[in-house]
Amino acid sequence: MSQGSPLLTLSAIDKSFDIHRVLNSVSFELARGEVHALLGENGAGKSTLMNILIGVYSADAGKLELEGKPLKIGKPSDSARQGIGMVHQHFRLVDRLTLTENLLLAADDHPQLKSRAAAREALLNTAKEIGFTLNPDCQVGELSVAEKQRAEICKVLALGARILILDEPTAVLTDSEASSMLAAIRRMAESGRSIILITHKLREVVGFSHRVTIMRRGETVAAGLDTSDLSIEKISSLMMGSSSTSLSPDGIDSKKAPSNVQEHGPDLLAISHLNARRDDGAPALTDVSLRVRAGEILGLAGVGGNGQHELTELLSGIRSASSGSVMIDGADALGLSPRQRRKLGLRVIPADRMASALVSDLSIAANLSLTSVVSGRFGRLWLNRRRMQREAQASIEQHEIAGARPSGRMGLLSGGNAQKVLLAREIDSGMKLLLAHSPTRGLDIRASALVHQRLREAAAKGAACLLVSEDVEEIMALSDRICVISAGKIMGELPGDASAADIGRLILGHE
């Protein structure tokens, strides 16, 4: 990391949306060749600050400098021309196109990349430079999540980025994929690029970044601290404004709640000999059987891509089974629509909330009302929008959704506050069975703890909860029983107090 003058400086940045101030005199410096972690709880202002840097928003006050000279960014193409690129949590790739075609699509201001051959060569050279394996002729839709992420990084770097912003780059990766990605990030820095790393995984901050800047409630509370002098506990305290001794380094509440399993209660979910196929026709689920009782949290552990996605879709009613049965509260649910399953008491927290459960361009009130409008709750012929607004405001206050107002656009909320909206809508009086797939993915420590609290409260009130997660610590912290899935098969069942080693053995196929 260069010890000279900073490459990038953001000074006294202010930003408000309507009457809500989201950034208050925020400052940030980035050196040449460093990995600089930008931390803060969901809603702290990190995304807004980065969106100013890449030209999505304009600052109300403050200044930006690049190599000591004023930096004027009015739109995203301005930042790209200055060598600033961002890889978002939700990739900006077109599944139907090849990697080369995706680069061509983004290369309007890069005449040297206008030909297919030039774009293909640029991707290969970039991948080789940072140690990635990449097939530029592969269709994006055929790639795994980790491969898509590597492709997105190569695309942004091939477009000339020397400052790379990575938003939660390991949130959807397995442990081994995450380690490989973090090593690549350090190699990029060693080659002279500068990396802004946004993450909630504090182990990654201490292990792979050079410095850290921490934001809280729209302000900078610690700027450019050397991570070699910091403990995970100190970083957590700075982020939250208090100590958090019951939380693990990745925000998992280590105090397990007492079980509320109703030993003789009904099976609110019973899956028997279930089989299903992937979109390409390959087997996705093979002879899957499991049950979840009233008042119980059943954790389904496993490495991503082993049938969890297909199982979640099938239970939600958007994927068909080849054979087998699914009973929800004693009723045969196979063949029922998502709306009909909802009437049986099924509520769903999907892995990708913005793609599958929330609508970013609609208001918060509309998102909170989405599942109730069809029932006539807000009127049959004309919607009672005043009632929608009143109930939305009550939910915002009850669930402490920061920076939200009923008429505000859903897409402007942070990940943690968006998840609060989803929880407020799904965990209602009609819930009997809660299906939660990776419910804390991409969330900060406090938001993760809140989600866990909501799941425990739901079980305590008698609901059955199926928790699907690749995070073993989360599974261990919440589950009354644990099942392990691998290659679309249930490999075994463990008690809720099973160790990580026990779970790992089943994941690897060892009894």
* Cβ atoms within 10 Å of 133's Cβ, excluding its own: 8
What band does 282 get if pLDDT is binned at 50, 70 and 90?
confident
The values of phi and psi at residue 197, to 5°, are: -105, 115
For residues 180-206, average pLDDT: 90
pLDDT at 113 over 60: yes
What band does 47 get if pLDDT is binned at 50, 70 and 90?
confident
Please tell me the predicted confidence (pLDDT) of residue 145: 74
Percent of the chain at pLDDT above 90?
54
pLDDT at 254 over 60: no
Q: What superfamily in CATH does domain 8-240 come from?
A: P-loop containing nucleotide triphosphate hydrolases (3.40.50.300)
Please tell me the predicted confidence (pLDDT) of residue 355: 81
Please tell me the predicted confidence (pLDDT) of residue 243: 46
Provide the 3-class DSSP secondary structure of residue 318: coil
Dist. CA 316–CA 335, nearest whole Å: 11
pLDDT at 185 over 50: yes
For residues 423-438, average pLDDT: 93
Q: Which helix (H) or strand (E) holds 145?
A: helix 145-158
pLDDT at 265 over 80: no
pLDDT at 255 over 60: no
Q: Where in the chain is the domain with CATH 3.40.50.300?
A: 8-240, 250-345+430-511
pLDDT at 510 over 50: no
Dist. CA 39–CA 264, nearest whole Å: 46
Please tell me the predicted confidence (pLDDT) of residue 175: 72
Q: To the nearest whole number, what is the mean pLDDT of the chain?
A: 88
Higher pLDDT, 304 or 231: 231
For residues 253-268, average pLDDT: 65
220 token code pair: 């900078």
For residues 428-454, average pLDDT: 88
What band does 257 get if pLDDT is binned at 50, 70 and 90?
low
What band does 449 get if pLDDT is binned at 50, 70 and 90?
confident
For residues 117-130, average pLDDT: 91
Please tell me the predicted confidence (pLDDT) of residue 88: 83
C-alpha 452: how far from chain center: 15
Provide the 3-class DSSP secondary structure of residue 62: strand
Sheet of 323-328, strands arranged across: 283-293, 267-277, 323-328, 331-332
Please tell me the predicted confidence (pLDDT) of residue 83: 92
Report which DSSP code applies to 336.
-
Sheet of 464-469, strands arranged across: 346-349, 433-437, 464-469, 297-301, 481-486, 489-495
Please tell me the predicted confidence (pLDDT) of residue 245: 43
Please tell me the predicted confidence (pLDDT) of residue 244: 45
The alpha-helical segments, DSSP class H, found in 248-345 are 308-316, 338-343
For residues 222-240, average pLDDT: 87
pLDDT tens for 242-253 read: 544 444 555 455
Single pTM value for the model: 0.69
Please tell me the predicted confidence (pLDDT) of residue 505: 84
pLDDT tens for 314-371 read: 999 999 999 999 999 999 999 999 999 999 999 999 988 888 899 989 999 999 999 8
* Cβ atoms within 10 Å of 346's Cβ, excluding its own: 25
pLDDT at 509 over 70: no
* CATH architecture assignment, domain 250-345+430-511: 3-Layer(aba) Sandwich (3.40)
- Total residues found in the chain within this entry: 511
Higher pLDDT, 163 or 356: 163
For residues 62-82, average pLDDT: 92
